[in-house]
Structure 1
Amino acid sequence: MLTLLSYTMIACFMYLVMSKRLSPLVALILVPVAFASLSGFAPQLGPMMFDGVKMLAPTGIMLTFAILYFCMMTDAGLFNPLIKLILKCVKGDPLKIVIGTAILGICVGLDGDGATTYIITTAALLPLYRRTGMSLQVLATVLLLTNGVMNILPWAGPFSRAASAMHVDITELFLEMLPLMIAGAGWVIFAAFYLGSRERRRLGVVQLDHDETMSHFTEFRLTDWRFLFNAALTLALISLMMLNVMPLAILFMLAFGLGVLVNFPDVKAQKAVIGKYADNVMAVTLLIFAAGIFVGIMSGTGMIKAISESLIHVIPESAGHFMSVITAFLSMPFTYVLTNDAFYFGILPILAETASHYGIGAREMAIASLIGQPVHLLSPLVASTYLLCGLLDLDYGDNQRASIGWCVGTCLVMFATAIALGTIGVFN
């Protein structure tokens, strides 16, 4: 009976989210509560939900301050010199422009937010693409590829969901994902080189005046010493993250505190900065805390265990040892047709629990589940991709057809890297 209710709950959750009958936030809270109550667990719900929320609290804190930090640095002009340098170097060469697009997208994508990446990068490069007559679809494809890699950063949504669902340490997971992301970034540069070479053959090199490429980015919003401070603070933050000196949540709290004090010393200005991005912060962190209820109830009631035991009887013994490989490939179509919430909180725990019976760890399953993220960005459920198409006036379906092959390529490169490094075991 519990197994049937578990499957029904997941199906109900996925249907309500995909059909937009309920928002993911509301569904994460109410659906598990309703089904747990039907299963007779109503008296125990309080402790279960609280345990789940406590479990995900560090992730929610980290996301809150990471989003605030990178949004603050963008406003402070930290990336303006990089934009100016790229515009100065690329001039009218389509090949250099497309490679510069990839580099700028990767750098701006450090905030883990696709919408921010698209807005900043298109604002910088769209006039250049139009002036040279280059294809705006090339711009869209390259930005989707860069976001497909940068969307896997620890402070981005998919990473935090995978880490939360698998109950793994965020820093350790990031250190294992980093080589895969570097390989994915290499694929992005290769794709940019290919697409840029094609545009150069089609258009040749267009001669542009210096003023045409630099006019929008001649002013900085900060004095020189503040810019140097911001650059040093960001480099120190990234270095300490990689060295695993302290939890990510604490690092971002300290970095944001120092950054906002230096860049916005006035109390009113600090309140304004926080208020400006409050909507973005709340939209992400509220989902994390709501997911704590979902995960807490599924674990506390034994639903995950019940479903995994039923799957063991369905999956052949030989296939069970390849669960991480299967998950890596399933993550592409699953995250395309499902929201990240439905996949990471509804499907991944079931796959992981089943994989555990074959000696496959939670961290390996979390890594496998993130490999399909570049394809997820083409899903009709991803709002930021609609924003990109709107900014460039592109048809959504045409954009999917032009970009899908390159996005799958990113996934395959990351998967091959994971296999080569032993991050995902072919024979467990």
Structure 2
Amino acid sequence: MLTLLSYAMIICFMYLIMSKRLSPLVALLLVPVAFASMGGFATQLGPMMLDGVKMLAPTGIMLTFAILYFCMMTDAGLFNPLVKLILKTVKGDPRKIVLGTAILGLCVGLDGDGATTYIITTAALLPLYRLTGIRMQVMATVLLMTIGVMNILPWAGPFSRAASAMHVDITELFVEMIPIMFAGAIWVLFSAWYLGRVEYRRLGVVQLDEEAALEGMAHIRMRDWRFIFNSALTISLIAAMMISLMPLPILFMLAFAIGALVNFPKLKDQKAMVARHADNVLAVTLLIFAAGTFVGIMSGTGMIKAISASLIYVVPEWAGHFMSVFTAFLSMPFTYVLTNDAFYFGILPILAETASHYGIGAQEMAIASLIGQPVHLLSPLVASTYLLCGLLDLDYGDNQRVSMKWMIGTCVVMFIAALLFGSISIIAKA
């Protein structure tokens, strides 16, 4: 009964937001409450929801100060030289702009974190998209695809979870994943070129005015001491993130405070800067805490465990020889409806145990389990996607509907690459 209720809740949630019957914020708050109440958990909802909010509180804090930090740096002119370089390179051609978005997203995404990639890339390219009239949804789709590939790096969460759950060597697993990720990156670049071509047909080459593109942004030269300071501060922040010097929320809080003090020393200017970006911050933060209640109810009622347990009955007994193939395709829907922890530590070991009886190794299962990560980014449990939609002022349901086919395409390309490179076998050899 709980399993059916869990699947019904996910389907209802997706329908309501994609059909625009409810906003994502309202759906995240009310849909799980309604279904949990139908399941007899009405009296226990308060503690469950609070636990979920507590769980996502660090993420909410991190995103709040990350948005403020990079918006502040945009105001201070840190990205002006990059925007100027892009303007000279692309010459108003949507094909070059969208392809450049993919290249920049892949480069910035080397840290494996979606939130920072979205903030940095949108800060650099948003003026250009607005000036040329390229649809913001194109940028969102391309950036989601880039992170769908870069999120599988060893220092990103899914990779470490898969390696830990399967007890395989991280280096060996990464070596096997490199050609698969490379194939995924090629698909991302091809998709970006195609989407850029669609925009080119719609808009043609747009004559760009550099001054118009930088309108409203601070006029700053690379030799100015504040530009040098801001660059050093941002590089230090990213380096500290990569070596895990401090928790991310603390790093962004400190970096924001230092940046605000240097760039906006007057109290009234600091207040004006925060007020200027309050809408973006609030839109994302509200969704994060609403998602916390969603996660709290799913965990507290046992819905996540019920969905995990139901997977055992999805895979028929005769499919044992094809377990790695099944795992690759099942990782798409199940990382969508479950957290990465639930999938990699709850479901993957069970699938791997079954696969071992048919001669399928732990490393092959780990590779198969990572194939579905691009689709996971569209899950209502992923905070960074709310951030991207907030930064680009996009409807969450529209973004899911448009981006889903491209994310599935990324998964399919990586699966085919895994087959061609021998990382996954269609039929178990033993």
Match of 1:16 in 2: 16
CA contact (8 A) 2:68 2:277 kept: yes
User: Which residue in the other structure is 1:337 paired with?
Assistant: none
Preserved contact between residue 53 and residue 296 of structure 1 (Cα < 8 Å):
yes
Distance 1:189 1:416 in 2: 17
Query: Relative to structure 1, is the Cα distance of residues 419 and 47 closer, same or farther in structure 2, using a 3 angstrom cutoff?
Result: farther
Offset from partner CA, 1:343-386 (integer Å, 9 cap, x none) = 4569996798543532599x98995443247999xxxxx97999
Compute the displacement of 1:257 (Å): 1.2
Q: Report the Cα distance in structure 2 between the residues aligned to 1:258 and 1:422, rounded to whole angstroms.
A: 50
Asked if structure 1 preserves the Cα contact closer than 8 Å seen for 2:10 and 2:337, the reply is no
SS in 1 for 2:40: coil
Q: Which residue of 2 aligns with 1:131?
A: none
Q: Could you tell me how far apart the structure 2 residues matched to 1:404 and 1:92 are? A: 28
Give the AA of the match of 2:16.
L
Secondary structure (helix, strand or coil) at the match of 2:77 reads: coil
Distance in 1, Cα, partners of 2:411 & 2:220: 39
| One-letter amino acid of the structure 1 residue matched with residue 118 of structure 2 | G
Q: Partners in 1 of 2:274 and 2:181 — Cα distance?
A: 30
> In 1, Cα distance between the equivalents of 2:146 and 2:413?
11
Partners of 1:183 and 1:413 within 8 A in 2? yes
Distance 1:348 1:10 in 2: 18
Question: In structure 1, what is the equivalent of residue 31 of structure 2?
Answer: 31
What corresponds to 1:121 in structure 2? 128
Change (3 A) 1:107 1:304: closer
Match of 1:326 in 2: 329
Alignment of 1:55-134 (within 5 A): 55-88=55-88, 112=118, 119-123=126-130, 126=132
CA distance, structure 1, for counterparts of residue 27 and residue 404 of structure 2: 30
- Residues in 1 aligned to 2:96 and 2:236: alpha-carbon distance in whole angstroms: 30
Please show how residues 3-402 of structure 1 align to structure 2 within 5 Å.
Answer: 3-88=3-88, 112=118, 119-123=126-130, 126=132, 144-146=141-143, 148-149=145-146, 214-216=210-212, 220-222=218-220, 224-317=224-317, 318=320, 321-322=324-325, 324-327=327-330, 343-344=336-337, 353-359=346-352, 368-372=371-375
The structure-2 alpha-carbon separation of the partners of 1:267 and 1:296, relative to structure 1 and needing over 3 Å to count, comes to same
User: Alpha-carbon deviation of 1:301?
Assistant: 1.5
Give per-residue Cα distances to partners, 1:376-397, cap 9 Å, x unaligned: 9xxxxx9799989xxxxxxx9x
Whichever residue aligns with residue 357 of structure 1, its letter is I
Asked if structure 2 preserves the Cα contact closer than 8 Å seen for 1:149 and 1:181, the reply is: no
- Deviation of 1:95 after TM superposition, in Å, equals 9.3
In the alignment, the residues of structure 2 paired with residue 407 and residue 10 of structure 1 have an alpha-carbon distance, to the nearest angstrom, of 19
- Report the residue type matching 1:225 in the other structure: W
CA gap 1:320/1:29 in 2 versus in 1, 3 angstroms? farther
Number of residue equivalences: 367
Q: Kindly provide the amino acid, as one letter, of the partner of residue 122 in structure 1.
A: Y
Q: Distance between the aligned counterparts of 1:359 and 1:186, measured in 2?
A: 30
In 2, the alpha carbon distance for the partners of 1:15 and 1:96 equals 35
- CA distance, structure 1, for counterparts of residue 188 and residue 423 of structure 2: 21
1:229 to partner: Cα distance: 1.0
List aligned pairs for 1:397-416, cutoff 5 A: none
1:2 aligns with 2:2: yes
Contact 2:138-2:195 at 8 Å conserved across structures: no
Gaps of 5+ in 1: 128-135, 169-175, 198-205, 335-342, 377-381, 389-395
Q: Cα–Cα, structure 1 residues 357 and 68, in superposed 2: closer, same or farther, change >3 Å?
A: same
User: How many Å separate the matches in 1 of 2:84 and 2:330?
Assistant: 42
Q: State which drifts further: 115-124 or 44-53.
A: 115-124
Q: Is the 8 A contact 2:332 2:375 kept in 1?
A: yes
Q: Is the 8 A contact 2:65 2:256 kept in 1?
A: yes
- In structure 2, relative to structure 1, the CA distance for the partners of 1:32 and 1:75 (3 Å cut) is same
The 1:61–1:384 alpha-carbon spacing in structure 2 relative to 1, beyond 3 Å, is closer
Contact preservation (8 Å) 1:36, 1:301: yes
Alpha-carbon spacing, 1:307–1:86, altered in 2? closer, same or farther (3 Å): closer
Q: Percent same amino acid among aligned pairs?
A: 52
How many angstroms does 1:259 deviate by?
Answer: 1.3
Letter of the 2:230 partner, please give it: N
SS of 2:253's equivalent in the other structure is helix
Contact 1:152 1:373 in 2 (8 A): no
CA 1:415–1:30 in 2, change beyond 3 Å: closer, same or farther? same
Q: 1:308 to 1:75 in 2, by over 3 A?
A: same
Amino acid at match of 1:84: K
The one-character-per-residue Cα deviations of 1:18-54 (angstroms, maximum 9, x if unpaired) are 2322222222222222222232223322222221111
Q: Distance in 1 between matches of 2:418 and 2:248?
A: 24
CA distance in 1, matches of 2:90, 2:411: 28
- Secondary structure of 1:245's counterpart equals coil
Distance 1:191 1:310, change over 3 A: closer
8 Å CA contact 2:327–2:351 kept in 1: the answer is no
Q: TM-score, normalised by structure 1?
A: 0.63
